[in-house]
Amino acid sequence: MKKAVIFDMDGTLWDSVDEIVESWNKTCPEMHIRREQLIGLMGKTMDCFARELLPEYEMDQAMEIIHACERDENEYLSHVGATLYGDVRKVFERLRGMGYEIGIVSNCQAGYIEVFLEYYHLGDLVADIECYGNTQQQKDVNLKALIERNHYETYYYLGDTQGDYNACQKAGVPFLFAAYGFGTVDAQVPQVESLEQLPEVMKYL
């Protein structure tokens, strides 16, 4: 029986907000982005970023600016990394030792997950990834696609926002709440207080 733990990125595996703020403010200084402002958008798709951060622009023009920021962000992160939520490699290795494959599904831009995997040399531990930037699809659709193409029979998603929970509800995927992350969830679900705690939590599911 194939089984998997599928991870969100921001607020779950790492915190890249400070690096994104620095990168985007260099690319588009007129946005004057602050950390507090960006945290409220993390986990949302890029059209939401465009509407919130560039309301004075037509959507097509705003998205051009956002895409430029994304490209520069990926390049910047490929050189500096971000802040991991603990020993990600150790957690991935423990889960694989328990028979779980590792997946990542995020609402991020294309290339973002790959930068994370390459910078921290984690690609050998991750079976599959998907994101909004690749498919232009919402997270529930991408979750179902990743699960179906890998023929997983048992699976869980670890995320840190209400949006993550809602996507799992739509996709029929059991949700685990990363309580150490950016957001909150208005539901009674299993909580993970730190990333390192996840393998222990999985023993009882």
pLDDT tens-digit map of 78-115 = 999 999 999 999 999 999 999 999 999 999 999 999 99
pLDDT of residue 44: 84
What is the average per-residue pLDDT within 105-129? 97
What is the average per-residue pLDDT within 126-144? 97
Percent of the chain with pLDDT strictly greater than 70: 100
> What band does 188 get if pLDDT is binned at 50, 70 and 90?
very high
Percent of the chain with pLDDT strictly greater than 90: 85
pLDDT of residue 140: 98
> What band does 49 get if pLDDT is binned at 50, 70 and 90?
confident
Where along the chain do its domains lie?
A: 3-15+83-202, 17-80
Using CA atoms, how far apart are residues 130 and 113, in angstroms rounded to an integer? 8
Residue 121 has pLDDT above 90, yes or no: yes
Contact residues for 64 (Cβ-Cβ < 8 A; gap 6+):
none
Closest by Cα among 143, 204, 152 to 170: 143
In 3-state terms, what secondary structure has residue 137?
coil
pLDDT tens, residue by residue, 61-79: 999 999 999 999 999 999 9
Instruction: Could you please state the CATH topology (level 3) that the domain comprising 3-15+83-202 is classified under.
Output: Rossmann fold (3.40.50)
> What band does 132 get if pLDDT is binned at 50, 70 and 90?
very high
> What band does 129 get if pLDDT is binned at 50, 70 and 90?
very high
